[in-house]
Chain A
Amino acid sequence: MSVQRGTGHSLRGRMAAFDDPDAMLDALRRLRRAGFSRLEVYSPYAVEGVDELLDRRPRALPLIVVAAGLLGAVGGFFLQYWGMVLSYPLNIGGRPLNSWPAFGPSTFELAALAILLAGFLAFCKFCRLPRLYDPIFDAPGFELASQDRFLIWIAEREGRDDGELLQRLLPEGEGVRIDEVPA
């Protein structure tokens, strides 16, 4: 079975479902302490603390947004500077050709546009959004992740039988249900 980088759900694994986010976070902490590293969380809304536990600090997105903002601001200002000073100099009301205060609002708008477009596209990319199907969707009860359950997917570790360890870490009942996820 091929393993696709980023998703990993063509791996076999187990799915644990929790009724509330705090229980899910506790379980996630126990799993990390026990050495599980290939984990994924599915929840109806973003739960604070999950990214840190999964070692997924969003480092790239802020940088992309700042870079897009700078590019948009510089490009927006240059667009007006080029039009008003270099390409078609026009004396308006005796003001200097480089009327930078008047360029301000459009510079800001173009920076905001660049931030929104680049940020939205980068966000989609990081969410793997154009990909509309994932094998994990076939797991029983997965649709609850978009309703009221908090799911942790635990990849099967090669050459090890973690069944007992997982039984200990994630005791079933009390809002916890564990399913095998086929490859």
Chain B
Amino acid sequence: MSRRPLIAAFGAALIGGAICAVGALTDPQAVLRGWLASFAFWIGLPLGAMMLLFAHDLTGGRWGAAAVPALRAMVAFLPPMLLLLVPVLALLPELYPWARAAEAAHLKNRFYLNAPFFYGRTAVYAMVWLGLALAILLRQERARNPLAAPGLILLGLTVTFASFDWFMSIEPDWGSSIYGMMIVGGQLLGALALATLAAVLGGRTDAGQRHDLSSLLTTAILLWFYLSFMQFLIVWQENLPQEITWYVARLSGGWGWAAALGALAQGALPFAALIWWPVKRSRGGLAAVCLLLLAAHLLECWWLILPGLAGGFTWYAPAAALAMGGACMTVLLWRLSTRPATRPVGRLAEEVGHG
């Protein structure tokens, strides 16, 4: 295997990281808010991949033969992504109002939102996820994972609370109980889109598998859209001052366009494309839809985080996305080059298909 992709990925990580490091000298808050916004995208891929792998362990299905290798590779993103959260953890007061003594004084939920408890919860999430990731990666692909059902329950709980802690608490006055599942919906969609893209570009899919993956993508789009729209509808109908402000910040100015673009590019457009079967079964069409979904999901993550923090959009967000993407791809390529697939792909596909 050529070393060139590995060097390119490592270079991207270095360039993105260097931009953020230089920026941190002048404006650490801007770098950190861009960092957290892009972190929301990249941490979703390994988490969504773990949920999809457990779901496939429970249900089976021919789509697994195509998507499981890519999903397993994405689980390896988890350790570097957890390491990349350290800058945020080290500088909590830069991002989280509840970590600043003066602003936290009026908060009623300080029993939950305080630095020691926050660190403790984050440590629990990290340990649970790393344990589940090891349980996935250390097992043979063809064997069903006995941890699948408890793993899904654990992931549902921990990812919900992690999204409350890391992302929702940037606005500690605001709360939404559907928020966690909405984040999970986006993570499932992102992970499935990347796995489908890898499977299609890797040339491992037949028409039937592409059909199934497209149908699953359609379901993921519907789930994400339903959860996002329900939160919006309920908050909009209630029209309460402490709730609607979340949407006022996210629907005014340029962010309103970002919201409309996100609803189109992560909802209506790919849905319309995927219910049309020539797109559904074709390699090129499916790959294009997956790219669109991933780009729209990155935009959604920025839209969720950045308007909630002072300063709004920052160019450090794309730089951080580049750095994290480079780091994840470096780990992935390094893992592929040090542990080459010994079993032929055809046999693997057959085994997973029967699994």
Select from chain A the residue with minimum beta-carbon distance to B229: A104
A101: chain B residues within 8 A (beta carbon)? 229, 232-233, 236-237
B residues in contact with A105, CB < 8 Å: 233
Chain B residues contacting A159 (CB-CB under 8 Å) are: none
Output the least CB separation between A82 and chain B (Å).
Answer: 21
Instruction: Please give, as numbers and ranges, the residues of chain A lying within 8 Å of B237 by CB-CB distance.
Output: 101-102
Task: Report the bound CA distance from A95 to B233 in whole Å.
Answer: 13
CA distance A62 to B277 in the complex (A): 10
Q: Does A94 contact B (CB under 8 A)?
A: yes
The residue on A at minimum CB distance from B233 is A101
Q: How far is the CA of A102 from the CA of B237 in the complex (A)?
A: 7
Does any Cβ of B come within 8 Å of A6's Cβ? no
- How many chain A residues touch B (CB < 8 A): the figure is 8
| A93 in contact (CB, < 8 A) | yes
> Which B residues from 206 to 245 make CB contacts under 8 A with A?
229, 232-233, 236-237, 239
In contact, A104 and B233 (Cβ under 8 angstroms)? yes
> What secondary structure prevails in chain A residues at the interface with B?
helix
**Is the Cβ of A102 less than 8 Å from the Cβ of B233?**
yes
Bound Cα distance A28, B75 (Å): 47
Name B313-354 residues within 8 Å CB distance of A: none
**Which residues in window 111-129 of B have CB below 8 A to A?**
none
- CB contacts (< 8 Å) of B229 on chain A: these are 101, 104
* B contact residues around A94 at 8 Å (CB): 239
- Determine the chain B residues whose CB is within 8 A of the CB of A93 once the complex forms: 239
Contacts of A102 in B (CB 8 A): 233, 236-237
A-B contact sample (12 more), CB < 8 A, given A101-B233, A102-B236, A104-B233:
A62-B277, A93-B239, A94-B239, A95-B239, A101-B229, A101-B232, A101-B236, A101-B237, A102-B233, A102-B237, A104-B229, A105-B233
Which A residues lie at the B interface, using CB under 8 A?
62, 93-95, 101-102, 104-105
Q: Could you name 6 residue pairs across A and B whose Cβ atoms are closer than 8 Å?
A: A62-B277, A93-B239, A94-B239, A102-B233, A104-B229, A104-B233
